[in-house]
Amino acid sequence: MSQPLNVHFLPSLMDASTLQGGTAVIIDVLRASSTITTALHNGALQVIPCGTPDAARRIRKELGSDSVLLGGERGGVLIEGFDCGNSPLEYPTGRVAGKTIAFTTTNGTHALLLADAANTILIGAFVNRRAIVERLETDHSPIHLVCAGTNGAITGEDVLFAGTVVAALLKNCELQTSNAARWRLNDCAEIARGFWLQSVGDQSDVSAERHRIASALLETQGGRNLLGLGYDSDIRLCSMADSIRIVPELNRDTNSIVASAEL
């Protein structure tokens, strides 16, 4: 029997109950997924997703200000009184190593909280694409790639990443002829894959692919929003495909996102 591989363009366009028994990959390329992955790669102990700034402040009060950083944004900018915003550049090793990050964003953490019905919740971005693909190839549950969007609108950058994951999984199956019919795509997965192939496609050179991804991100509404806020460098960082070898995963016991071992 083929394995479902579903893309959801927005959390509001999916029935959350369909995630039951499945694995959800939360996608907010610009920038929550990229920032969470970068922070954990740079040694953060855990990232606790919070629905509101006040919820994040309560986490720090409970765990202590010495061990917790407040991170996130509203409207793309730093929340008043927070330590870090939502740029990967704000989470270097010297700042985050050994720390818990109470994290809240306009779209990314919201999408994660809405995916609670899934058995497993992972965080995906271009920076850890290969690690995500390799993890999904070992997973035999229904797969759901959940695009966070922006303020309830579909965003090209998230669909682009969903498309590259779908394309990679299908390509790997084609190379394994005994497993060629493994995946059963929904319509949104087909559309996302087509968008990826049209916008970037197969690139044999890593630098060329990253350049094409950055160019594609600049054409999205999310990319234009970041340019308007002066975060040009974040677009380049978020387009660095396959630069990080971890898969952030929600730990149900602690309700925090932690890093898998380096793959």
- The gap from C-alpha 151 to its chain's centroid, in whole angstroms, comes to 16
Q: How far apart are the first and last CA of the chain?
A: 28
pLDDT of the residue at 129? 98
Per-residue pLDDT at 190 exceeds 90: yes
Rounded to the nearest 5°, which phi and psi values hold at 184? -120, 110
Predicted local distance difference test score (pLDDT) of residue 4: 97
Q: What is the pTM of this model?
A: 0.96
Q: Does the pLDDT value for residue 29 go beyond 80?
A: yes
pLDDT in tens, 229-247: 999 999 999 999 999 999 9
Residues with Cβ < 8 Å from 36, sequence gap 6 or more? 47, 103, 108, 123, 248, 257
pLDDT at 177: 57
What's the confidence (pLDDT) of residue 191?
98
- What pLDDT score does 174 carry? 76
Q: Which pLDDT belongs to residue 261?
A: 65
Average confidence (pLDDT) over 17-46:
98
Cβ–Cβ < 8 Å for 238, 126: yes
pLDDT band at 204 (very low <50, low <70, confident <90, very high): confident
Residue 180: what pLDDT? 59
Q: Which CATH code, of 3.90.1560.10, 3.30.1370.100, 3.30.450.20, 1.10.10.10, is assigned to 3-248? A: 3.90.1560.10
Mean pLDDT of 30-54: 98
User: What is the per-residue pLDDT for 203?
Assistant: 87
Percent of the chain with pLDDT over 70: 97
| DSSP character string of the chain | -PEEEEEES-GGGS-GGGGBTSEEEEE-TTTHHHHHHHHHHTT-SEEEE-SSHHHHHHHHHHH-TTTEEEEEEETTEEPTT-SB-S-GGG--HHHHTT-EEEEE-SSHHHHHHHTTTBSEEEEE-GGGHHHHHHHHHT--S-EEEEE--BTTB--HHHHHHHHHHHHHHHHHHHHSGGGTT-EEE-HHHHHHHHHHHHHT---SSHHHHHHHHHHHHHTSHHHHHHHHHT-HHHHHHHT-TT-----EEEETTTTEEEEPPP-
What would the pLDDT profile of 81-126 be if each residue is shown by its tens digit? Answer: 999 999 999 999 999 999 999 999 999 999 999 999 999 999 999 9
pLDDT of residue 147: 98
For the chain, what are the domain ranges? Answer: 3-248
List pLDDT tens digits, range 132-180. Answer: 999 999 999 999 999 999 999 999 999 999 999 999 999 988 776 556 5
Write down the pLDDT at residue 179: 61
